[in-house]
Amino acid sequence: MKISEVLAEECNFFDDLIGCRASEWDEQARIPTEVVRRAAESGLLCPQVPVAVGGRGFDSLHTGELAAHVGSRCSSLRSVMTSQGMAAWAIQRLGNKNQRNVFLPQLSGGKVAAVGFTEPNAGSNLSGISTSISCDGDVATVNGHKKWVTGSVYADFIVVFGRIGDGAAAIIVPTSAPGVRLEAITDGLGCRAAGHADIYLNDVRLPAENILGREPQSLPLITTIALQYGRISVAWGCVGILRACLDQAAGHARARRQSEKALVEHQLIKRYLAEIFVLEQTAAHLCEEASRAWDSAMPDLAMKVVLAKHVSSQNATKGAAMAVQILASAGAHSGDLVARAYRDSKLMEIIEGSTEISQLILSDYVMSLY
């Protein structure tokens, strides 16, 4: 059975949830809270949470195809989905049994979470993280400033990464806790409705049991665990962007007439359509390979995930630009699908590790082989 057939119910759920409102949400820089809540209550914002703790128990391949479908409809909601999945994955991998049993059912049952990595002096290179987590008995105190935290406007809590002692840790920070202040970002380049915000943490006092795993760990290790989930989710989302652009471009090329013949009969338009198709197929195959590596726990998983994200994000940027070129003025309004795709896709080359960071990682992998 095809994956699309297995996911028919889930895809229909998101089709009904989004409808034709993605452009409106983009213009308003906000997804209605009830929409985000319905998505969270379905468990489909973090479908890889195990069934044993109330989740859907999806594998990476099915999660990815669902992310592509959501991404083809609304990259902002897909970004919230990525953020929720990253938070759940961090809890699943870094948390102890009690923390997994407490927080994962919440994320599959309606709570919304975000992940705080980036800081004013820590972007693609997260070694510059300066947010501090200190413990005094059963109380943990958090101080720091996180930037561009996707989904945080809708979040009930944020998985904040910071330094503790000689190591690092992730801690669950409720957005309602005293000392937490959010400043929403509403004028971003892309994914404007994804609920981005800067977060200020000023002497936020929390139970020490909110620290995932309780013991300090390696900063590169714990950030990579969450980033790996984010990268593959973004990559699949870019496949969705390409599929949406191809659908729009093909439909316009068939219906629009220029010089007394359909646009699709012009050779240069044929070339654009062929190139978008190649970009989509290439990205999809790399994402499938990465998800199969994830599900099989292959030793070169990290490389395959970075490769999929690297290629898919660049392909989405190229494909969206070609779709805008085909539609011309018909796709030049800010809220039009291909116009949104053009803006959203560029952001995908930056988040979860920029194109340049991906190149450095892939270069290191090459040198490890030769």
Q: What is the pLDDT of residue 5?
A: 74
Indicate the helix (H) or strand (E) that contains 10: helix 8-18
Residue 259: which region, alpha, beta or left (left: phi > 0; alpha: psi -120 to 50)? left
353 and 285 within one domain: yes
Q: What is the pLDDT of residue 126?
A: 75
**Chain segment 52-111, per-residue pLDDT in tens:** 999 999 999 999 999 999 999 999 999 999 999 999 999 999 999 999 999 999 999 999
121 and 102 within one domain: no
Number of residues written out for the chain: 370
165 and 132 within one domain: yes
How sure is the predictor about 122, in pLDDT bands with cuts at 50, 70 and 90? confident
How large is the C-alpha radius of gyration of the chain? 21
208 and 314 within one domain: no
Last residue of a domain, one of 108, 136, 155: 108
Q: What is the pLDDT of residue 147?
A: 95
Q: What is the separation of C-alpha 42 from the centre of its chain, rounded to a whole number of angstroms?
A: 18
Determine the average pLDDT of the residues in 1-20.
87
**Chain segment 96-109, per-residue pLDDT in tens:** 999 999 999 999 99
Q: What is the pLDDT of residue 216?
A: 82
Are 151 and 76 spatial neighbours (Cβ–Cβ below 8 Å)? no
Q: What is the pLDDT of residue 162?
A: 94
124 and 98 within one domain: no
Instruction: Report strand pairing: 113-116 vs 167-174.
Output: unpaired
Q: What is the pLDDT of residue 2?
A: 59
> Who's near 135: CB < 8 A, 6+ residues apart?
141, 164, 208, 211
**Token pair listed for 17:** 């949830």
The identity of residue 215, as a single letter, is E
Indicate the helix (H) or strand (E) that contains 162: strand 157-164
What CATH number is associated with residue 313?
Answer: 1.20.140.10
The identity of residue 164, as a single letter, is I
**Quick one: how many helices (H) and strands (E) in the chain?**
12, 9
Last residue of a domain, one of 108, 132, 149: 108
Are 95 and 210 spatial neighbours (Cβ–Cβ below 8 Å)? no
How sure is the predictor about 1, in pLDDT bands with cuts at 50, 70 and 90? low
**Chain segment 192-218, per-residue pLDDT in tens:** 999 999 999 999 999 999 999 877 888
**Chain segment 225-246, per-residue pLDDT in tens:** 889 999 999 999 999 999 999 9
67 and 207 within one domain: no
DSSP code, position 183: E
93 and 120 within one domain: no
Highest mean pLDDT (candidates 25-39, 125-139, 248-262): 25-39
What CATH number is associated with residue 44?
Answer: 1.10.540.10
Domain tally, the chain = 3
Other Cβ atoms within 10 Å of 165 Cβ, number? 12
Q: How far apart are CA 228 and CA 235, in angstroms?
A: 11
Are 127 and 121 spatial neighbours (Cβ–Cβ below 8 Å)? no
- For the four alpha carbons of 90, 80, 161 and 212, in that order, the dihedral sign comes to negative
How sure is the predictor about 302, in pLDDT bands with cuts at 50, 70 and 90? very high
3-state SS track over 31-100:
CCHHHHHHHHHCCCCCCCCCHHHCCCCCCHHHHHHHHHHHHHHCHHHHHHHHHHHHHHHHHHHHCCHHHH
351 and 224 within one domain: yes
Range of the structural domain that residue 281 is part of: 220-369
Q: Which residue has the tokens 């400033």?
A: 145
Q: Which of 283, 305, 286 has its CA nearest to residue 294?
A: 305
180 and 119 within one domain: yes
- Which residue has better confidence, 6 or 96? 96
**Token pair listed for 299:** 């030793």
Last residue of a domain, one of 183, 198, 217: 217
- Average pLDDT score, the chain: 93
328 and 243 within one domain: yes
Q: What is the pLDDT of residue 220?
A: 86
**Chain segment 147-196, per-residue pLDDT in tens:** 999 999 999 999 999 999 889 999 999 999 999 999 999 888 999 999 99
How sure is the predictor about 269, in pLDDT bands with cuts at 50, 70 and 90? confident
DSSP code, position 217: B
229 and 124 within one domain: no
Instruction: Report strand pairing: 139-146 vs 132-136.
Output: antiparallel
Q: What is the pLDDT of residue 261?
A: 75
- Which residue has better confidence, 109 or 121? 109
- Residue 3, classified by CB atoms within 10 Å of its CB into exposed (0-12), middle (13-18) or buried (19+), is middle
The identity of residue 192, as a single letter, is R
254 and 341 within one domain: yes
